Amino acid sequence: MSTPIIVGNWKMNGLSADSADRVKQITADLAAQPVSGVEIVVCPPFTQLALVATALKGSPVALGAQDCHKDAKGAHTGDIAACMLKDVGTTHVILGHSERRRDHGEVDETVREKTVSAIAAGLTPIVCIGETEDQRQEGQTEDTLGWQIKGSLPDGFDGIVAYEPVWAIGTGLAATSEDIQSTVAFIRAELVRQFGDAGKSLRILYGGSVDATNAASILAIPDVAGALVGGASLKPDAFLSIVRAVPAR
C-alpha cells in the first residue's frame, strides 16, 4: 500500500510571524506526540517558503509550494520556476488547483506543461482535478474528470492526483462518503485505463472542506490515500487532528 499523505494548502494566507508560529506549533506537537505511517506536507505562500523551510529542518514535515511556471527560466515577471522551488527545499508542488484554473484561466494543457516542469526539477506534483456544481448537476462529473486526467497528466506521470469537487472547496460542504467512494473508484479506473498498471499505485487524495470532524470517515474510504486540506491547515490543532485520523494500513 502507498503511504498516506496529508497536504496543507495555506493558500494566500499568512505573514512571516503567522507562518513561524504555525510551524512551531506543528513541529512541537509532532515532537511530543510523533506519528508514523503518514507523510505530512505544508504548502505556504511563495514569500514564506524559505522561512518555513528553515523552521521545518529536522522535523517529519515536508515543504510544498502552490504553483510553478512551465519554464525553468526566462522573461516571466512574477512567476516562479520549479527549479527555484527545489532550490529552497521544496519537495512537492500543487498544480491545477481550481482556484488557479478559475482565477488565472489555467487549462489542462497549462497544468500538463507545469507538471512536466515540476517532475523535471525533481518535485512531486500534486495535480488537482474536480467538477463544478453545474457539471455535477448536469451529470458531467465523470466526463469532466476523465478529460482533466487525460489533459493534465503527462505520459509516465508518477505524482499524486487530488480530487477536489469545486463546489466543496471552502464552502463547508464535503461530498458524502458514498459520493467520494464512487468518484474515486472512477478516477482509479480512469488512471488504470490511461496509464496501465502504473495507474494502480498512483495516490489519490480528497480535498474539499476536509476538517477534524469528517477526516476519519473520508480517510477510511478505499483508494483515498490522504487529503489536500485548505482552511483547516491554518489551524495547527485541526490540521494535526486530520493527520492523526489517518487509519493504520
What CATH number is attached to the domain comprising 78? 3.20.20.70
The domain total for the chain is 1
Looking at the domain assignment, is residue 59 inside a domain?
A: yes
- The alpha carbon of residue 4 and the mean position of all alpha carbons in its chain are separated, in whole angstroms, by 12
Instruction: Determine the Cα–Cα distance for residues 45 and 15; give it in Å rounded to an integer.
Output: 9
Please name the residues in contact with 81: beta carbons below 8 A apart, sequence gap of 6 or more: 68, 69, 71, 72, 73, 117, 121
Residue 168 confidence (pLDDT) = 82
Looking at the domain assignment, is residue 233 inside a domain?
A: yes
pLDDT of 1 strictly over 70: no
The answer to whether 11 is a known ligand-binding residue is yes
Looking at the domain assignment, is residue 56 inside a domain?
A: yes
Catalytically active residues, by annotation: 97, 164
Please state, for a pLDDT cut of 70, what percent of the chain lies above it: 98
Kindly report the average pLDDT of the chain as a whole number: 95
The answer to whether 150 is a known ligand-binding residue is no
pTM attached to this predicted model = 0.96
Looking at the domain assignment, is residue 60 inside a domain?
A: yes
The answer to whether 231 is a known ligand-binding residue is yes
Residue 212 confidence (pLDDT) = 93
Torsion of CA 202, 162, 159, 68, to 10 degrees: 170
Span 187-202, mean pLDDT?
96
The answer to whether 170 is a known ligand-binding residue is yes
- Per-residue pLDDT tens over the stretch 5-32: 999 999 999 999 999 999 999 999 999 9
Looking at the domain assignment, is residue 117 inside a domain?
A: yes
Structural domain range at position 77: 5-32+39-244
The answer to whether 217 is a known ligand-binding residue is no
Looking at the domain assignment, is residue 249 inside a domain?
A: no
pLDDT of 175 strictly over 90: no
Looking at the domain assignment, is residue 55 inside a domain?
A: yes
